[in-house]
Chain A
């Protein structure tokens, strides 16, 4: 026991030393390239914005994985569908003022993507419910490819436009606090993430349905014995995850000019966020997403190796899988137990 504690504190020492070295390295590089605190502040707020979408995708991963044990790689495609659908519905010639049209576009696209999630579960996951989890994961990869191909046929390769929420125009209202650049859409995005997280936590902690979902996550068999229907819970989880992805796509639509193949990157980065949360903690997934977003922005910005920006997220992924497979945040012992 004593020895065990010893190695643990030694490991902690090593990781603290590594962190200090990393921070020192970043600061020296920043100094060399002439970046001041303002540049860091800008990278951080941009990174938090970019990280918010990883957070929402990560939440989707966590919801599905904690209930069914499946890693749903189609999560990024839900984001793409949400963004593309909201753009397409907004383009329709509805006899409505722009604000209402936007609201209709948002609500309809989230609903449609939720239905896609439900259909995916009933059509592809449920029939294979007896199969190995790995098989189910491969099914979700197949679904990813199918959804992307369908999107290519429906929308083509052209990028779409979703208007900014505040002014329903193509150019956002820009705030310039302390000389930094902050689009108002960022506030919409952060508000949405915060709201979604609170709603999810409330749902999991305070409602019967949410508790039933968590019960499935903890012990499927025992939950079944208590009269909870795991297959219905799995359906619910896929619907929720699809809605989360769609919400992400909708709030991010104005910022990214969605294209049919945008889902892949968000899916992978969201996966990094979920891994940071040990695939189990919603709060962890949000923090993980934000950390990933900020880390890649500052990392790429300071080193000026912009081409390696995506690489930073995957370096984080590999390090976590190697040294802390139970996750950084909120995973804890339960994460280990699960895996």
Chain B
């Protein structure tokens, strides 16, 4: 994507002139402190117009603080709604947006799936991270509302080798286990439960929609179910789907560049970058940096409508800096070491 931007020489502005765009790439080392100081450097020294950073929640929260303070539009690629809403008032943070699907929408799907299975009680395992807690907070509320008994909840760490939670799940005697984690932690927990309890259904969140999950888990994750963006099976989507072209484009570009099968995480960066590119294309000449930043922010908030992205069709609004709902997901199942759609009609 960045290469493509550079090849075309930049962005065609409303005046018809090509403007160069510089995309600066840094590594947050998955460390919130590193991420916050990187963000500050980009804002102060490199004078960026917008920030696109952070594919996990804790990092995004750290950057969101920096962006809010410096009044720079910031697009997070992590899932938690807590990133875009103010912790005190619950209102949208004016400068913060996100492109990745929310755990609330994941929970909607999980409730529907559990209802179709006709189960009574649920065990919940989640990784002790921002994402895992967000999964749990969203799902546990929705599941209890829907009348499921929350028989067990336990956290785990990505580095855990042993899972004392498993006898707990056994003792709780629940019908289904839901795991809220990303690989490899999600795979570790899945394998531990699967080895002890060969028959219990295991459902995940959308954090596992990457082939890393299947490579890490192997045979043991066969039958795992989860909601994902259909971009991971882009070529099987009917041609009249509004996002089909975008998905194929992204999938081809991603697979050509990385040599790996497509991942939804890369898609979030793709969406975010094109939001900003679209916004920049509308900028008139001669704005100061602060004006440019404000203009990009206003564009993101008001003008991303029916916008087909890799994660779904976005509709942003001043009270919704995210713009997707649960229909952006498709329910999947791991079958033959692949993500295979598992539509509602087959439940």
Contact = CB atoms under 8 A, between A and B. Distances in A.
Interface of A: 33-35, 38-39, 42-43, 46-47, 49-50, 53, 152, 157-159, 161, 169-172, 174, 181, 183, 252, 255-257, 259, 261-262, 265, 293, 297-298, 300-301, 304, 306-307, 309-310
Contacts of A33: 168, 171
Given A159-B184, A170-B219, A307 B128 contact: yes
A304 B168 contact: yes
Contact of B167 (A39, A257, A259, A310): A39
A73 B8 CA distance: 51
B187 A301 contact: no
Given A159-B184, A159-B212, A42 B166 contact: yes
B218 interface: yes
B161 A252 contact: yes
A189 to B, nearest CB: 10
Interface string B191-209: 1000110000000000000
Given A34-B171, A255-B161, A257-B216, 19 more contacts: A35-B167, A46-B163, A46-B164, A53-B161, A161-B216, A169-B218, A170-B217, A170-B219, A171-B218, A174-B195, A181-B166, A183-B195, A256-B161, A257-B187, A297-B164, A306-B154, A307-B128, A307-B155, A309-B164
12 contacts: A34-B171, A35-B167, A38-B167, A42-B166, A161-B215, A169-B218, A169-B219, A171-B220, A257-B187, A297-B162, A300-B164, A301-B168
B157 interface: yes
Contacts of A262: 159
Interface in B125-167: 128, 154-167
A-B pairs with lowest CB-CB distance, top 7: A170-B218, A301-B164, A159-B184, A39-B167, A50-B162, A46-B162, A181-B196
Contacts of B215: 161
A43 B167 contact: yes
A298 B184 CA distance: 24
Classify the interface of chain A: helix, strand, loop or mixed.
Answer: helix
B68 interface: no
Interface string B227-264: 00000000000000000000000000000000000000
Nearest to B197: A181
B302 interface: no
A297 B154 CA distance: 13
Contacts of B128: 307
B170 interface: yes
A39 B171 contact: yes
A47 B184 contact: no
Interface in B272-315: none
Contacts of B187: 159, 257
A40 to B, nearest CB: 8
A206 B65 CA distance: 63
A265 B218 contact: no
Contacts of B163: 46
Contact of A306 (B165, B170, B219, B220): B165
Given A181-B196, A183-B195, A293 B164 contact: no
A66 to B, nearest CB: 27
A257 B195 contact: no
Contacts of B216: 159, 161, 257
Nearest to A45: B162
Q: Which of A35, A47, A159, A259: most chain B CB closer than 10 A?
A: A159
B104 interface: no
Contact of B160 (A157, A183, A301, A309): A309
A82 B108 CA distance: 43
B29 interface: yes
Contact of B154 (A34, A42, A293, A304): A304
A196 B128 CA distance: 34
B183 interface: yes
Contacts of A257: 184, 187-188, 216
B30 interface: yes
A154 B183 CA distance: 20
A125 B221 CA distance: 45
A47 B165 contact: no
A181 B195 contact: yes
Contacts of A261: 159
Contacts of A293: 162
Nearest to B128: A307
B135 to A, nearest CB: 15
Interface string B111-132: 0000000000000000010000
A161 B188 CA distance: 12
A304 B123 CA distance: 13
B315 to A, nearest CB: 33
Nearest to A174: B195
